[in-house]
Structure 1
Amino acid sequence: MTTTTIARTTETALSPADTLNRNGFVRIPGLLDPQFMDTLLLRAHARLFRESAEAREKVKSNGSLCHLSDSPEFADIIGHKGLIDTLRGLGASDPRWTGGFLISKPAGGPPLFWHQDWWGWTEPESYKARPQQWFAMIYLTDTTPENGCLRVIPGSHRHDHPLHHLEAAHSAELQGFLNPDNPAFAAHPDEVAVPVTAGDVLVGDARLIHSAYGNATAHERPLLTLWYMPHWDTMSPGMQARAMMGYMRNDDIVTPERPLTPLDWTPELRARVEDVLPTMEGSPSPIAWVRTPDVTRFAA
């Protein structure tokens, strides 16, 4: 039997920013108030009600992948002042939102596969300490290993790890949970569980290897994952151009023929996110979309 290690933020005297830099993730407790969380939860359930069973079955391991650009009713969390101020407090010089998903694991849903989400591994800055992309995860209910909380490999955003050498993540086979015996779903002795209370926010480096436990309960476990570039103003033009492709939904993620972006939102809703939307000048060539690191380039 594998013993689950629980992340304990009280066990370290590091600041939140230093914890994020060292471990690749940090929990910010109680950032969002209960009333606001209730409204997010209601909106999430309404959005899931509109998602087809077929669409959810294709991403059974994730549970759902509802792009938030299709759901402008979440504008107030994307541009939430407390959240953006928190990102700045963690070191973000110019945080810009480039996308996000409602990722909800249904009752009885399987575990999520191990993966990391960074796509710029051709570039030398991807192997340095300064992050290029963060996730902000907002679980809408209290979340534990029993109902599918996050599990991570601390420090894997900067160092080689055996899980880097699994098959490429995000394949149809992994997302559909077609082979439950695939090692990408297995427990790992280095894993750390990150349970949260609704209202907490988890901020993590896109390079961090992570997954989620299965949901062994009889209730849905909804999560909003928001993607921010913390240093947009100093990203290379090629990285900005590739990030803009994701923001405009013109990348390798399958979308409807005419997917929505915040450019399609009403002026009132767009105003809520205007300060964190990415913009760029000119038409630089985007870097290649590469999600597999060259582990020989990690720092010793």
Structure 2
Amino acid sequence: MVGMTSAPSATAPAALSPAQQLEQNGFVRFTDVLDPVTMDTLLLRAHATLLREKEAAREAVKSNGSLIHLSDNPEYADVIGSPKIAELLREVGATDPRWTGGFLISKPAGGPPLFWHQDWWGWTEPESYDVRAHQLFVMIYLTDTTPENGCLRVIPGTHLRDHPLHHLEAAHSEGLQSFANPDAVDYAAHPDEVAVPVKAGDVLIGDSRLIHGAYANRTNEERPLLTLWYMPHWSGMSPGMRARGMENYLRRDDIHTSVARPLTPLDWTPVLRQRVEAVLPTYEDSEPPVPWHRTPDTSRLIPA
């Protein structure tokens, strides 16, 4: 199991550890983590999940392809609580990783590109400008990916450094998600972008502050992805940060749901919940959550 970046322009020296690669570039790729049987099983589950998703729901998030919350689908418990994933999180420096959510994000055949964005929500807080990440994405592509079928693309270093793409329209707006304006610069190629193709079984871990997107899927096959969100230093975070993380986990800010009270692992059967118990967040403090704020103060980032 080897941590590595994905392209010559982003390749770190061999001496760098996965944690150092994450700190330097904002992402790291681990190869051959999950075995073929596991990948086949996850792929079958994903196709079954997608069959249940309504077409209108997918159209509303056309740029993403789908945004199906994994708390509604406890059949993914084994990957959320996977000891292999926990091991990788430790390799990149996580001290107390806790899962706060995840999605099946699947780009259909002919699907458009995913807009440029970063996913961090705590930019009002001083620690958001530290080198250490407070939220990590774990991406598990269920098929081999390339720029042809919609692989990840990133702007290395933008988890810490200002970049012109920080100054675009706020991420995840309805217009961007629905691909309302295909000519918007938010979807366009950028000279700083680096493609991150992977093989099924590889795992990508990245800093939620990293600016990233995805290419269009120009093939005739679905390109499914599981994105898992972990807060890597749960017990070391401020109470307000943990409170906001709990809000995310309990889906109190989740607009992508059609049920009155969104499901969480608290609603799963005991057998399935036991599979994720070690990575579920808990909160006993009374501090209110920090504000939900996706836009960084770019004056506090490293200048472009």
In the TM superposition, residue 253 of structure 1 has moved relative to its aligned partner by: 2.9
**Matched position secondary structure for 2:160:** coil
For residues 131 and 301 of structure 2, the distance between their equivalents in structure 1, rounded to whole angstroms, comes to 10
1:184 is matched with which residue?
186
In the TM superposition, residue 299 of structure 1 has moved relative to its aligned partner by: 3.7
2:37 paired with 1:59: no
In the TM superposition, residue 254 of structure 1 has moved relative to its aligned partner by: 3.7
**Would you say the 8 A contact 2:10–2:194 is kept in 1?**
no
**Matched position secondary structure for 2:88:** helix
Q: In the TM superposition, what are the counterparts of 1:84-99 in structure 2 within 5 Å?
A: 84-99=86-101
Q: Which one of 14, 17, 23 corresponds to residue 15 of structure 1?
A: 17
1:294 is matched with which residue?
297
In the TM superposition, residue 283 of structure 1 has moved relative to its aligned partner by: 2.3
Q: In the TM superposition, what are the counterparts of 1:232-243 in structure 2 within 5 Å?
A: 232-243=234-245
% identical aligned pairs: 70
Q: Which amino acid aligns with 1:238?
A: G
Question: Structure 1: where are the runs of 5+ without partners?
Answer: none
2:102 paired with 1:119: no
2:262 paired with 1:259: yes
Q: Which amino acid aligns with 1:66?
A: I
1:155 is matched with which residue?
157
In the TM superposition, residue 7 of structure 1 has moved relative to its aligned partner by: 6.4
1:43 is matched with which residue?
45
Q: Which amino acid aligns with 1:51?
A: E
2:83 is matched with which residue?
81
Q: Which amino acid aligns with 2:280?
A: L
For residues 193 and 70 of structure 2, the distance between their equivalents in structure 1, rounded to whole angstroms, comes to 29
**Matched position secondary structure for 2:230:** strand
Q: Which one of 277, 280, 286 corresponds to residue 280 of structure 2?
A: 277
Q: Deviations over 1:40-71 (max 9, x none)?
A: 00000000000011100000000000000000
For residues 6 and 65 of structure 1, the distance between their equivalents in structure 2, rounded to whole angstroms, comes to 31
For residues 253 and 7 of structure 1, the distance between their equivalents in structure 2, rounded to whole angstroms, comes to 37
For residues 30 and 128 of structure 1, the distance between their equivalents in structure 2, rounded to whole angstroms, comes to 31
For residues 287 and 196 of structure 2, the distance between their equivalents in structure 1, rounded to whole angstroms, comes to 39
For residues 267 and 48 of structure 1, the distance between their equivalents in structure 2, rounded to whole angstroms, comes to 25
Bigger shift: residues 82-91 or 210-219: 82-91
Bigger shift: residues 249-258 or 277-286: 249-258
- Give the direction of change, closer, same or farther, for the CA distance of 1:194–1:185 in structure 2 (3 Å limit): same
CA RMSD of aligned residues (A): 1.4
In the TM superposition, residue 86 of structure 1 has moved relative to its aligned partner by: 1.1
**Would you say the 8 A contact 1:127–1:299 is kept in 2?**
no
Q: Which amino acid aligns with 1:209?
A: I
**Would you say the 8 A contact 1:9–1:27 is kept in 2?**
no
2:172 is matched with which residue?
170
- Give the direction of change, closer, same or farther, for the CA distance of 1:198–1:6 in structure 2 (3 Å limit): farther
Q: Which amino acid aligns with 2:210?
A: L
**Would you say the 8 A contact 2:26–2:156 is kept in 1?**
yes
Q: Which amino acid aligns with 1:129?
A: V
**Would you say the 8 A contact 2:10–2:156 is kept in 1?**
no
Q: Deviations over 1:181-230 (max 9, x none)?
A: 00000000000000000000000000000000000000000000000000
Question: Structure 2: where are the runs of 5+ without partners?
Answer: 1-6
Q: Which one of 214, 220, 223 corresponds to residue 221 of structure 1?
A: 223
In the TM superposition, residue 179 of structure 1 has moved relative to its aligned partner by: 0.3
**Matched position secondary structure for 1:113:** strand
For residues 77 and 281 of structure 1, the distance between their equivalents in structure 2, rounded to whole angstroms, comes to 27
- Give the direction of change, closer, same or farther, for the CA distance of 1:7–1:27 in structure 2 (3 Å limit): farther
Q: Which amino acid aligns with 2:192?
A: D
TM-score (norm 2): 0.95
Q: Which amino acid aligns with 1:214?
A: A
The size of the alignment, in residue pairs, is: 297
